[in-house]
C-alpha cells in the first residue's frame, strides 16, 4: 500500500494564555499552507484542534471545511502516563483514514512529540511506511535555550522535575552535578502555578554561582527571558503575573 | 543607558546546499518583518549575512539599504574553539553600535546559539541589559528529534562526536548507555562528508536493537528522516547523495 505523509504541525505557544498570538508571527506560510490542505488529524485534544484550524482558515482558507475533517484524539492514558516509553502502539489510529492520505499530528502548543505527546504516533508512522515531515514553528524549549546564554552546543531537556520537595531538591542537585561535570545545560518545565515554588527551590538547592534561566511567555507580548545566578534569584521578589505564564527553566555554568 | 533588544534571527537550513528554500517556507512573517527592520548585526560570517539580507529584502523591503548596515563578525577563535565555554567576553562587540539600538544575531543556518556559535553574544547582551528576544525559525536538531519517533520528553544534544575511530566508538557506547539507563534520546551532528563513516560506526558500535535516526536535508525538497535499528542499518547500502547533505543523528530505545 502506498502511504502518504505524516506532517508534524506546530501550534502557537499561546494555549491557555490571555492573549492570542497572530499565527503569522510564529508560523511560516509554508506551515500554514500545508496545515490548511490537510483534513485528517491526530491530536492531543479535538476541541483545541478545531480552534487552531479556525485560526488557520482565517489566513489560508482550508481545503475542506472543518466539519469534513476527521480528527482523532490520542487516548487519555497517553496523556496521563506520558508518551515516551513506547508502550502505546499507535498504528491502529491510522486505520480510520483512507489509504494513502496525508495526516497531520497536532499538539495544543508548540511542536508535537517534543516535550509533548506524539512520539508513539511518529513511531507508528515510520513503521507503517509514512514519510514523516516536521514543519517549522515555535518550540518553547529551544527558543528558551537560545535566549539563555547558556551552553547551546551541549544541552539536555529533562521534562518535569518531581513534585515532592525533597525529591525535587535531590533532582535539582543531580542535574546541577551533570551541568558542572559535562558542561551540559539542563532544561526543564513546570506547570504554571508551580513556577514560583520551582524558582524558590532552585535558588536554594543550587550552588550560589550556578546560573538559572527563566523564560516566560515566549512569543507573547509579555515574553521575558532572564538569566541570573542562583544567589541573585534568592533575593528576587516573585512576580505574581508569572504564575499564569508558560515557563521554561534552565541551569548551567 | 537604555538598552535595546537583541533579536536571535534564524536562517534557513539550505546553507551550502544546491537548492535554496524559499524563505517564507521556513520563516514566519513576524521573523521576516523584524529582520527587515534591523541594521546592526553580529554574525558568523558577514558575506553570508549579506546574502541572507538580500533574500529577506526580496520579500519584506529592508528599512535600511544593505550598504548602510553595520555587520560585525564573531572573532575566528570563537568559531574554531566553539563558543560554549564562556571564555570569550563579547560585551565589547556591542561598542560599535549606537546606544539604545536593536541588534540582530545571525548564524549561517538555523538558530543562533543552538548547535552554533552565539552563546557568548547572548550572555553579553544579558549582562549589558539588553532584552533578548528569540525569533521563530527552523532548528534542525529539533525538527529531527520531533520526526524521529524517539523520546522527545527527555533528550540531549551533544554536538559533534570525536573524529578518531576508537574514541568515537567509546563515545557512541557511552551515549548508548545513557540512552538505555535514563531513556534519554541522544542527538548529535557530523560534517556532511563524514556522514557515511558515522552511520557505519553507529551500526557496528551499538547494540543491534538500539534505534538510530538519520535526518537529512531537513526543510529541503530532498529531506529524509529514517529511524531503524542498528542491526537494520548494518546491512543498508550507503547513499552517495547523502554525503553532501546536512544530517542530524539520534539514538534511543
* Residue scoring higher pLDDT (A84 or B115): B115
pLDDT score at A1: 63
Could you give the CA distance from residue B54 to residue B50 in angstroms, rounded to a whole number?
6
Mean confidence (pLDDT) of chain B: 93
The CA distance from A6 to the nearest CA of chain B, in Å, is 9
Given a cut of 90, is residue A18 above it in pLDDT? no
More reliable by pLDDT, A155 or A17:
A155
Q: Is the distance from CB of A172 to CB of A200 less than 8 angstroms?
A: no
- Which 8-state DSSP code applies to residue B189? E
- Closest residue in B to A33 (Cα) is B25
Comparing B76 with B97, the larger pLDDT belongs to B97
For chain A, the residue count is 253
Beta bridge partners of B214: B226, B249
How sure is the predictor about A228, in pLDDT bands with cuts at 50, 70 and 90?
A: very high
Average pLDDT, integer, range B44-73: 97
Let me know: does A3 contact A129? Beta carbons within 8 Å. Answer: yes
Report pLDDT for A193.
84
Say yes or no for a CB contact (<8 Å) between B156 and A159.
no
Residue B231, classified by CB atoms within 10 Å of its CB into exposed (0-12), middle (13-18) or buried (19+), is middle
At A53 the three-state DSSP class reads: helix
Q: Which of B149, B154, B158 sits opposite A123 (nearest CB)?
A: B149
Between A113 and B1, residue with greater pLDDT? A113
Check CB contact under 8 Å for A157 and B159.
no
Q: Which ipTM value was assigned to this complex?
A: 0.95
* pLDDT greater than 80 at residue A220: yes
CB-based contact B7:A147 (threshold 8 Å):
no
Q: Taking Cα atoms as reference points, which of A43, B223, B72 lies closest to residue A52?
A: A43
Question: Cβ contact (<8 Å) for B84 and A183?
Answer: yes
Question: Which of A147, A179, A253 to mutate to probe the B interface, most B CBs <10 Å?
Answer: A147
| Interface test mutation site (partner A, options B134, B158, B180, B250, max chain A beta carbons within 10 A) | B134
Closest Cα in chain B to A111: B146
A82 pLDDT tier (thresholds 50, 70, 90): low
- A212: pLDDT strictly greater than 80: yes
pTM tops 0.90, yes or no: yes
DSSP secondary structure of A178-240: HHHHH--EEEEEE-GGGHHHHHHHHHHHS-TT-EEEEEESTTSTT-EEEEEEHHHHHTPPP-G
CB contact under 8 A, A25 and B30: yes
The span from the CA of A168 to the CA of A188, in Å, is: 12
Q: How confident is the model at residue B81 (pLDDT cuts 50, 70, 90)?
A: low
Alpha-carbon distance of B152 to B185, in angstroms, equals: 7
Give the per-residue pLDDT at A4.
95
Q: B138 and B9 in contact (C-beta within 8 Å)?
A: no
Residue of B122, B138, B148 with shortest CB distance to A147:
B122
Q: Which of A131, A133, A154 lies nearest to residue B158, judging by beta carbons?
A: A154
pLDDT at A222 over 80: yes
The per-residue pLDDT for range B177-211, each reduced to its tens digit, is 999 999 999 999 998 888 999 999 999 999 999 99
pLDDT digits (tens, 9 = 90+) for A144-195: 999 999 999 999 999 999 999 999 999 999 999 999 999 999 999 998 888 9
- Whether residue A44 contacts residue A74, with contact meaning beta carbons closer than 8 Å, is answered with yes
Q: Are B169 and B205 in contact (CB under 8 A)?
A: yes
Q: What whole-number percentage of chain B has pLDDT above 90? A: 83
Choose the weakest-confidence range: A77-81, A121-125, A197-201, B217-221: A77-81
C-alpha–C-alpha distance, residues A3 and A128, integer Å: 8
How many Å separate Cα B216 from the centre of its chain? 13
Whether A114 and A143 have beta carbons less than 8 Å apart is answered as: no
Instruction: Tell me if B113 and A139 make a contact (CB, 8 A cut-off).
Output: no
Q: Number of CB pairs < 8 Å for A and B?
A: 186
Contact (CB, 8 A) for A40 and A97: yes
Which residues does residue A23 pair with via DSSP β-bridges, in sequence order?
none
**Across chain A, what does the average pLDDT equal?**
93
- What would the grid cell of residue B153 be? 520528553
Structural domains in chain A?
5-134 (3.40.1010.10), 140-252 (3.30.950.10)
Amino acid at each position: 500500500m502506498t502511504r502518504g505523509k505524516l506532517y508534524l504541525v506546530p501550534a502557537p505557544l499561546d494555549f491557555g494564555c490571555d492573549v492570542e498570538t497572530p499565527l503569522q508571527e510564529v508560523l511560516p506560510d509554508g506551515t500554514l499552507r500545508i496545515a490548511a490542505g490537510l483534513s485528517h488529524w491526530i491530536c492531543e485534544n479535538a476541541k483545541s484542534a478545531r480552534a487552531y484550524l479556525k485560526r488557520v482558515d482565517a489566513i489560508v482558507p482550508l481545503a475542506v471545511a472543518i466539519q469534513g475533517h476527521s480528527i482523532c484524539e490520542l487516548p487519555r492514558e497517553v496523556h496521563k502516563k506520558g508518551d515516551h516509553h513506547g508502550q502505546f502502539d499507535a498504528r491502529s489510529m491510522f486505520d480510520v483514514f483512507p489509504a494513502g492520505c496525508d495526516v497531520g499530528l497536532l499538539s495544543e502548543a508548540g511542536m508535537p512529540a517534543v516535550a509533548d505527546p506524539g512520539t508513539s504516533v511518529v513511531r507508528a508512522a515510520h513503521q507503517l511506511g509514512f514519510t514523516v515531515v516536521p514543519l517549522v514553528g515555535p518550540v518553547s524549549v529551544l527558543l528558551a535555550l537560545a535566549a539563555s546564554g547558556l551552553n547551546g552546543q551541549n544541552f539536555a531537556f529533562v521534562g518535569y522535575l518531581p513534585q515532592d520537595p525533597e525529591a525535587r531538591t535531590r533532582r535539582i542537585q543531580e542535574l546541577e552535578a551533570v551541568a558542572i561535570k559535562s558542561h551540559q545545560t539542563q532544561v526543564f518545565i513546570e506547570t504554571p502555578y508551580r513556577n514560583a515554588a520551582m524558582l524558590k527551590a532552585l535558588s536554594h538547592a543550587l550552588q550560589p554561582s550556578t546560573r538559572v534561566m527563566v523564560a516566560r511567555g515566549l512569543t507573547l507580548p509579555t515574553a521575558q527571558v532572564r538569566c541570573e545566578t542562583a544567589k541573585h534569584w534568592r533575593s528576587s521578589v516573585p512576580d505574581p503575573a508569572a504564575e499564569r505564564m508558560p515557563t521554561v527553566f534552565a541551569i548551567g555554568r
